[in-house]
Amino acid sequence: MEGAIFEDVQLKFLTSKTLPEFTDSFLNRIIIYAIKDLYGDVGLAKYQSKFEITDTNPQSLEAKLRVDPSARHDIWNALTLLDSFDGEKLRIVSDQEFKAQ
């Protein structure tokens, strides 16, 4: 992804007593779900290859995403509008973004 933008994101579960294992695979499922929920199958086909999880921290539920600049706003919209996943209330917070050097 030329000119990729990196996003720091954090999951905040609002109702869960037991947190699921926070892995790249789990976060990928959440992102795919968020994109499909907002944009449908056509949007999912368009944006699924426009992001990559580069790092996860299971203790803090934080991750770093590499996002194609052309899809940045649409993926950010999908993540911030998502309010639940697998019956658990959650919020995804993006605190920082920076361009790749």
Question: Per-residue pLDDT tens for 34-88?
Answer: 999 999 999 999 999 999 999 999 988 999 999 999 999 999 999 999 999 988 8
**Pairing of the two strands 51-57 and 84-85:** unpaired
Both tokens assigned to 91 = 């919020």
Query: Strand, coil or helix: what is 41?
Result: helix
Q: What's the pLDDT tens digit per position in 10-35?
A: 998 888 667 678 899 999 999 999 99
Question: In 3D, which of 53, 48, 56, 55 has the Cα closest to residue 21?
Answer: 56
pTM over 0.85: yes
pLDDT at 101: 45
pLDDT at residue 98 tops 70: no
CA 73 to chain centre: 12
pLDDT at 100: 54
Q: Is the CB of residue 72 less than 8 Å from the CB of residue 24?
A: no
